């Protein structure tokens, strides 16, 4: 009997993974199809476009033929490298500022306000509330507020904190400000999620083991919230590096603040230079991938995720 | 961090009128306690009686609502937890999940910048027989292993006072006995002061120099394990440490050496004055089951022996060395007697009418007869 029972279970065990893996594949199918159709296909098309050459038989703008014009990369990068530098500079700056602003907010909601769930819920709503208004409208609102006739500029000027011919909109400051503002909720939410699970007894163990409150923060709280910090910084950095709204002259930027996103937009929509726009997109994507993979490895969160 | 020093020996702890109130609830009530330097002190009590809360106040993780905590004569009531030379083995282990076992153990040493942190941490891991898992993370260990890491993480600091909150609760019997011996050895070698909280009365009795039984936020009684067992003062202690038979009664008369206590059913019991914690009014007489004898039929009372007659045997269990009898005495309740099977095999059978007796000087007088609720505590 006993042996029969053992044989039974072991058979079941070996049969189960097969069944399970079939179910898993079935469940993955829609996602795989989606990725294939809406990610892989456009990516291939993008890369093919980036090597296109002007159509020799047409004098019209925007006429290109498939080719292997690798020189596209050389010319486009040499003409646009400064936009890349600016993009990543702005994105890193916005990410760092958003992190510094968001961590205390997330800590307040996830740890400090734990005894008062109502306050937690209210603060979370405040963080999410901006999502109820379109991102474009919110950025336009900031353009109004920070514009030359807005009260911010007039007040600063009357207090002589801004020269009489000074602006806020159109400067690097206002672009980084806009990026930071727009991505703060994406930073707060993942950090909040990790801090919310933080076991307070670990902080007590830290205090018991001679760690001052600040040491406990650096050695216990921060490492344990790293998954949230990594997720938040990625969710901010990646879209911020490709952003073309904040830096555009119609919003918070000006001629001197153009980012790669703006170059892609104008190449694609105005000059109709599709290969150049594609080269910029491919390079942007590649650089982001390199930066992100180095960052994730350095942050050492594999064990925590 | 000047307050923190690696101590070569333990320090005396004194609690003066410590009280802790939570909203609408008093967890610890007016607790007075002194633990001598280098002493192994066991705090024993049922679940929820305030043991952990007491430890947390001593560690500085909870502020007392009233009272003072003195360590080596210095008032540390307002000292921050991280500046107290006190370490805790937490009931929930509280190991850092992001650090390896080694780094967990070295945590306290690193904070104090101890130069040979590495050797000390490895030695502590050796002590708890876990050197081979130094590179793992807490989630990869069993519950008992985690508990031993928690022990190593606290002991490695050689604190003036070590607080242990049921540090051996998750271990199997064999390992628990080994760790008990190990703990006792460390305590003796280094001369640390141990405040050890446990549910296990046997553990408390075998390891501790002094045992305190806590109930409902206050200490019922404390003393050396032998005297606590021999002479409990309350029904709660009598029941919590070992087994007891307790007869409620009223002191009817007393002379210089003996109190007479009338119990229901017209019987009068005697108890020595020196062995009674109350001398008039409500007095309960208690006696340990192994101090009693069982007799078939009735027995004539004598001055140096208490006798209760007219019980009916409801259960006999033969365990080899001894036999355990359950005897129903009607209004007096159930009485348990252990008899060693020294010569003959059990002489009384189920359903027999019997008497029980014990030497007057073996009994004890209790100042209360509250039916002790220890269900929660015995669930372990
Ligand atoms: N933060 C708190 N707020 C309110 N009540 C609390 C709090 N902490 C503990 N208590 C209560 O105080 C009482 C004593 O708790 P404590 O943890 O000291 O018990 P214990 O003796 O350690 O029990 P156990 O043996 O189960 O660990 C319990 O009734 C508990 O519910
Ligand atoms: Mg407890």
Instruction: Tell me the pLDDT tens digit for each residue of B86-100.
Output: 999 998 999 999 999
Does residue B375 register a pLDDT over 80? no
Considering only CB atoms, which chain B residues are within 8 Å of A303?
98, 137
Share of chain A above pLDDT 90, in %: 66
A100-108 contacts at long range (C-beta below 8 A, 24 or more positions apart): A101/A180, A101/A184, A101/A187, A102/A184, A102/A187, A102/A188, A102/A191, A102/A232, A103/A191, A103/A229, A105/A184, A105/A188, A105/A192, A106/A187, A106/A188, A106/A189, A106/A191, A106/A192, A106/A195, A106/A225, A106/A228, A107/A191, A107/A195, A107/A221
Query: Rounded distance, CA B65 to CA B88, Å?
Result: 21
Share of chain B above pLDDT 70, in %: 94
Kindly report, as residue ranges, where domains of CATH 3.40.50.300 are found in chain B. Answer: 13-226
How many beta-carbon pairs below 8 A join chains A and B? 66
Considering only CB atoms, which chain B residues are within 8 Å of A213?
82
Query: Rounded distance, CA A95 to CA A238, Å?
Result: 9
- pLDDT category at B313 given cuts 50, 70, 90 is very high
Which of residues A17 and B361 earns the better pLDDT score? B361
- pLDDT the model gives residue B345: 61
Four-point Cα dihedral B366, B369, B373, B378, nearest 10: 40
The A-side interface with B (CB below 8 A) comprises 199, 201-202, 204-213, 215-216, 219-220, 223-224, 226, 303-304
What ranges make up the beta strands (E) of B49-198?
66-71, 74-75, 86-89, 161-165, 193-198
DSSP string for B155-171: HTT--SEEEEESTTTTS
- pLDDT category at A10 given cuts 50, 70, 90 is very low
- Assembly ipTM: 0.82
- pLDDT category at A302 given cuts 50, 70, 90 is low
Best residue among B21, B44, B45, B53 to mutate for probing ligand 1, ranked by most atoms within 8 Å of CB: B53
The minimum CA-CA distance between B332 and chain A, rounded to whole Å, is 48
Which of residues A161 and A8 earns the better pLDDT score? A161
Q: Which among A215, A220, A303 has the least Cβ separation from residue B96?
A: A220
Instruction: Please give the span between the terminal C-alpha atoms of chain A, in angstroms, as a whole number.
Output: 44
Residue with tokens 């734990």: A114
- pLDDT category at B169 given cuts 50, 70, 90 is confident
Nearest to A299 by CA among A179, A145, A194, A202: A194
- pLDDT the model gives residue A13: 47
For residue B8, the 8-state DSSP code is: S
Query: Rounded distance, CA A164 to CA A157, Å?
Result: 6
- pLDDT the model gives residue B303: 82
Does residue B3 register a pLDDT over 70? no
Does residue B378 register a pLDDT over 50? no
Kindly report, as residue ranges, where domains of CATH 2.40.50.100 are found in chain B. Answer: 235-366
Query: Rounded distance, CA B238 to CA B366, Å?
Result: 9
Does residue A97 register a pLDDT over 50? yes
Q: Give per-residue pLDDT as tens, B28-48.
A: 999 999 999 999 999 999 999
**CB-CB under 8 Å, B90 with A210:** no
With a CB cutoff of 8 Å and minimum separation 6, the contacts of B358 are B287, B291, B292, B293, B305, B306
**CB-CB under 8 Å, B86 with A208:** yes
- pLDDT the model gives residue B65: 95
The structural domains of chain A, ordered by start, are 80-304 (1.10.3720.10)
Look up the pTM and report it. 0.82
Q: Is B267 helix (H, G, I), strand (E, B) or coil?
A: strand
- pLDDT the model gives residue B299: 82
Q: Are strands B293-296 and B353-359 parallel, antiparallel or unpaired?
A: antiparallel
Q: Which residues pair with B189 in a beta bridge?
A: none
The per-residue pLDDT of chain B, averaged, comes to 88
- pLDDT the model gives residue A150: 86
Find the mean pLDDT for residues B162-180: 88
What ranges make up the beta strands (E) of chain A?
53-54, 64-65
For residue B220, the 8-state DSSP code is: E
Q: Report the topology of domain B235-366.
A: OB fold (Dihydrolipoamide Acetyltransferase, E2P) (2.40.50)
- pLDDT the model gives residue B2: 34
**CB-CB under 8 Å, A303 with B59:** no
Say if CB B365 and CB B323 are below 8 A apart. Answer: no
**Any atom of ligand 1 within 6 Å of the Cβ of B47:** yes
- pLDDT the model gives residue B374: 40
Query: Rounded distance, CA B216 to CA B201, Å?
Result: 17
- pLDDT the model gives residue B89: 95
Query: Rounded distance, CA B146 to CA A235, Å?
Result: 36
Q: Report the topology of domain B13-226.
A: Rossmann fold (3.40.50)
- pLDDT the model gives residue A239: 95
Say if CB B257 and CB B276 are below 8 A apart. Answer: no
Q: Which among B1, B60, B87 has the least Cβ separation from residue A209?
A: B87
- pLDDT the model gives residue B370: 62
Helices then strands (H, E): number in chain A?
A: 13, 2
């Amino acid at each position: 009997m006993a042996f029969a029972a053992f044989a039974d279970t072991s058979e079941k065990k070996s049969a189960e993974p097969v069944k399970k893996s079939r179910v898993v594949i079935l469940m993955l199918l829609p996602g795989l199809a989606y990725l294939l159709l809406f990610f892989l296909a456009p990516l291939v098309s993008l890369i093919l476009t980036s090597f296109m050459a002007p159509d020799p038989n047409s004098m019209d703008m925007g006429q290109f033929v498939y080719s292997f014009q690798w020189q596209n990369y050389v010319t486009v990068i040499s003409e646009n490298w400064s936009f890349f530098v600016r993009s990543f500079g702005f994105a890193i700056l916005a990410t760092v500022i958003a992190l510094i602003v968001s961590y205390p907010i997330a800590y307040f909601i996830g740890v400090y306000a734990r005894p008062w769930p109502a306050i937690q819920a209210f603060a979370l709503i405040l963080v999410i509330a901006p999502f109820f208004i379109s991102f474009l409208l919110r950025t336009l609102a900031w353009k109004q507020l920070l514009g030359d006739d807005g009260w911010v500029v007039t007040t600063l000027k009357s207090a002589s904190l801004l020269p009489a011919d000074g602006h806020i909109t159109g400067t690097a400051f206002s672009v980084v400000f806009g990026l930071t503002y727009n991505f703060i909720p994406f930073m707060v939410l993942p950090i909040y999620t990790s801090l919310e699970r933080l076991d307070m007894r670990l902080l007590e163990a830290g205090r018991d083991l001679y760690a001052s409150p600040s040491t406990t923060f650096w050695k216990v709280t921060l490492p344990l919230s790293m998954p949230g910090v990594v997720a938040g910084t990625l969710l901010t950095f990646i879209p911020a590096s490709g952003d073309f709204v904040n830096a555009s002259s119609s919003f918070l930027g000006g001629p001197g603040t153009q980012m790669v996103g703006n170059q892609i937009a104008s190449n694609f929509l105005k000059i109709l230079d599709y290969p150049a726009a594609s080269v910029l997109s491919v390079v942007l994507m590649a650089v982001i991938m390199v930066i992100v993979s180095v960052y994730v490895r350095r942050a050492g969160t594999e064990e925590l995720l | 961090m000047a307050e923190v020093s690696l101590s070569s020996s333990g320090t005396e702890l004194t609690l003066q009128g410590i009280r802790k109130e939570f909203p609408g609830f008093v967890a610890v009530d007016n607790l007075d306690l002194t633990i001598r330097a280098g002493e192994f002190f066991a705090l024993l009590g049922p679940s929820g009686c305030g043991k952990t809360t007491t430890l947390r106040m001593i560690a500085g993780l909870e502020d007392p609502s009233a009272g003072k905590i003195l360590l080596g004569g210095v008032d540390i009531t307002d000292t921050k937890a991280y500046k107290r030379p006190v370490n805790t083995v937490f009931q929930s282990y509280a190991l850092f999940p992001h650090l390896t076992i080694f780094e967990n153990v070295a945590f306290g040493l690193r904070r104090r910048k101890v130069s040979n942190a590495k050797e000390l941490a490895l030695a502590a891991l050796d002590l708890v027989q876990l050197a081979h898992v130094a590179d793992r993370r807490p989630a990869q260990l069993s519950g008992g292993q985690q508990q031993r890491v928690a022990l190593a993480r606290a002991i490695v600091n050689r604190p003036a006072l070590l607080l242990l909150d049921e540090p051996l609760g998750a271990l199997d019997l064999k390992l628990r006995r080994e760790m008990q011996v190990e703990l006792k050895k460390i305590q003796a070698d280094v001369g640390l002061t141990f405040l050890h909280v446990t549910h296990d009365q046997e553990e408390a009795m075998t390891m501790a120099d002094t045992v305190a039984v806590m109930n409902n936020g206050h200490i019922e009684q404390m003393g050396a394990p032998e005297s606590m067992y021999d002479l409990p003062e309350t029904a709660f202690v009598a029941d919590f440490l070992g087994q007891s038979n307790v007869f409620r009664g009223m002191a009817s008369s007393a002379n210089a050496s003996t109190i007479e206590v009338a119990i229901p059913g017209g019987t009068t019991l005697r108890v020595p004055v020196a062995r009674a914690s109350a001398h008039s009014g409500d007095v309960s007489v208690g006696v340990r089951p192994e101090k009693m004898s069982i007799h078939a039929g009735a027995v004539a009372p004598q001055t140096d022996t208490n006798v209760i007659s007219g019980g009916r045997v409801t259960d006999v269990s033969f365990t080899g060395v001894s036999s355990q009898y359950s005897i129903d005495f009607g209004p007096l309740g159930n009485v348990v007697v252990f008899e060693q099977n020294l010569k003959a095999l059990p002489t009384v059978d189920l359903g027999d009418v019997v008497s029980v007796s014990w030497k007057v000087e073996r009994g004890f007088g209790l100042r209360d007869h509250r039916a002790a609720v220890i269900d929660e505590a015995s669930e372990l």
